[in-house]
Amino acid sequence: MPASIRNAVLTALSVIPTARSVAHIPVRGGDTTLPVLRSQQDTCNQLKQALTGVNGTLFPSDGATYEDFEEENYSAACRLPAACIVNPKSAQEVSTVIKILSQTGTKFAVRSGGHNYIPGFASINETGVLVSLSNLNTTVLSTDKKTAKIGPGNRWEEVYGALVPQGVTVVGGRVGPVGVGGLMLGGGLSYFATQRGLAFDNVKSYEVVLANGSIVNASANNQYSDLYKGLRGGGPNFGIVTNYELYTFPVGNFSVDARAYNTNQTDDFLRAIAEYQQEGQLDPLSSVSIQVLETGPTIMLLYNEPVQSAKAFDAFYNLGSYTSIAAFNGSLIDVLALTGSRFSTGNVSTYGETFTHKVNADLNVDLYNIFVEETANLPSGASGAWVPNPIAASVATVGKQYGGNLIGLQEVPQQWYEWFITWTDLTQEQAIWNISQRITQRCTAATAAKNASLPYLFTNTAGMEQNVLGSFGSKNVNTIKAIAAKYDPGQIFQKLQNDGFLIRKL
């Protein structure tokens, strides 16, 4: 991509400042009633004996090397000082790790890419061990090119980098640096959702390390088919996924048109999202990526064929003047070069939440106004971004056709909101937390008042107090509980896992 376009993208789409600091929004603790049989130090020493490879087990005393691994978490608030970080290099080593943690009663957290921004989910403080899966990062395309086996420690840019030159891709993340493991467990919103459902609807099999250390392969038609189904919604409640076998499909070039609109067009833009959902989004090859910022709305119109001015995007074309950020025909890798540039790591903390509603143009405007009112009170230096994700009814339909999942989606067009706040000053934590709570409460109430509520909460963008599993409905929750009881009878993943969307919190 030419440097001029790249710079324009950086300027128009960048929302994350780069200053460094460490902030901590409230950390949910694990189950403190469980007796810890050995000190964390003893457990870490035992892990060090067992995992002998380079950086197998890292201690804070390892200095910069340890810090490099600690800093893999996307949000600075999530970079907690674990007693040690273990880096297994195979499912067999993950099995060894889980056996040691289980036998010693040591708390742990599991991290793939570390992009979840809830402190304590893919991170843990000195009370436990961080199991980092970043070494499980192979992508292996089958010889018939119909499936690919993908390690959870990959970033999506690595996965597409391995597959796209072979003419195929998988349903995965929209931003290059995001991790595979967590995105897949949480559903996974891609550029192909309207046509192919969520990422986890496209899994052929999962390799999972269970609480007792056994390594199983779960697919739709084998003896672990219940576990396979459970992993389409039940997330981290059953075991550690050490490989995802995904169905592939041929991929060519896309038409990409990224635009910025003025703030005085914001209301029309928000209404246009509803219009797109009612008409344009019925074209399964279309996809949009939106951020509404203080400087105005930005959108990437992406069409899964290199055509000019696809009719699907008429609602946005009709808005009139705009600033072009980028317009090109290119591969998925080119698309990632555009979206990846939006995000910088640095010591910036991020936190956000989610909610879902039925299509309603007026509500789109009302909700954004609530966000603007609340974020006007943000402390200096903090900033917010409003991210509507228009979801077609077909996402639920395709999910059912591909074997079904446990998230209880209704087959209607819907809006999955993601909004987030970034900040760099540790002392602002409480103020940001309070504002976050108010945004979700007020938006949820406004949605209910317009009779537009939908219960679903998108795992991948949900906040720490949100009842994600509960939003799937009681039947699905009971299924998840039954599968967890079968595969983790000792409740290791409930009692020892630091935090997450766990059934122990229901």
Ligand X SMILES: Cc1cc2nc3c(=O)[nH]c(=O)nc-3n(C[C@H](O)[C@H](O)[C@H](O)COP(=O)(O)OP(=O)(O)OC[C@H]3O[C@@H](n4cnc5c(N)ncnc54)[C@H](O)[C@@H]3O)c2cc1C
User: Where along the sequence are the contacts to ligand X (CB under 6 A)?
Assistant: 74, 109-116, 121-122, 133, 152, 173-175, 178-183, 185-186, 188-189, 236, 240-241, 343, 460-461, 500
| Residue among 240 and 310 whose Cβ is closer to ligand X | 240
What is the closest distance, in whole angstroms, from the C-beta atom of residue 154 to ligand X in the complex? 9
CA distances from 33 to 107, 267, 397 (A): 11, 51, 43
Nearer to ligand X, 175 or 299 (CB): 175
Measure the CA–CA gap between 238 and 21, rounded to whole angstroms. 35
Question: Which of residues 354 and 360 has its CB atom nearest to ligand X in the complex?
Answer: 354
* Integer Rg of the chain from CA: 22
Residue type, 447: T
* Residue with smaller CB distance to ligand X, 136 or 452: 136
Q: Checking DSSP bridges between strand 296-303 and strand 84-86, what pairing results, if any?
A: unpaired
Write down the least CB distance from residue 116 to ligand X, Å: 3
Shortest distance in whole angstroms from residue 269 CB to ligand X? 21
Beta-carbon-side half-sphere exposure of residue 48 (alpha carbons within 13 Å): 11
Give least dist CB 448 to ligand X, A: 25
241: helix, strand or coil: strand
Q: Letter for the amino acid at 148?
A: A
Tell me the C-alpha distance between 120 and 112, whole Å.
14
User: Quick check: 323 and 259 in contact, CB under 8 A?
Assistant: yes
173 or 390: CB nearest ligand X = 173
By DSSP bridging, strand 128-132 and strand 107-111 are parallel
Q: Which residue is nearest to ligand X (CB)?
A: 182
Distance CA 114, CA 122 (A): 6
Task: Using the minimum distance from each CB to ligand X, give the nearer residue, 302 or 326.
Answer: 302
| Residue 113 or 388 having the CB closest to ligand X | 113
In angstroms, what is the minimal distance from the CB of 180 to ligand X?
A: 6
Question: What residues contact residue 392 under an 8 Å CB cut-off, 6+ apart?
Answer: 193, 194, 277, 281, 282, 284, 413
CB atoms within 10 A of CB 336: 23
Contact 96, 87 (CB under 8 A): no
How many Å apart are CA 445 and CA 466, to the nearest integer? 15
Q: Which is nearer to ligand X, 115 or 232 (CB)?
A: 115
CB of 165 to ligand X, least distance (A): 21
Shortest separation between residue 114's beta carbon and ligand X, angstroms: 5
CB of 436 to ligand X, least distance (A): 16
CA dihedral of residues 197, 199, 203, 208 (deg, nearest 10): -140
Beta-carbon contacts of residue 419 (< 8 Å; ≥ 6 apart)? 352, 353, 354, 371, 384, 385, 386, 387, 439
CB of 395 to ligand X, least distance (A): 12
Nearer to ligand X, 183 or 227 (CB): 183
Residue at 477: amino acid letter? V
Cα–chain center distance at 245: 18
Judged by CB, which is closer to ligand X: 128, or 500? 500
Min CB(303)–ligand X separation in Å: 17
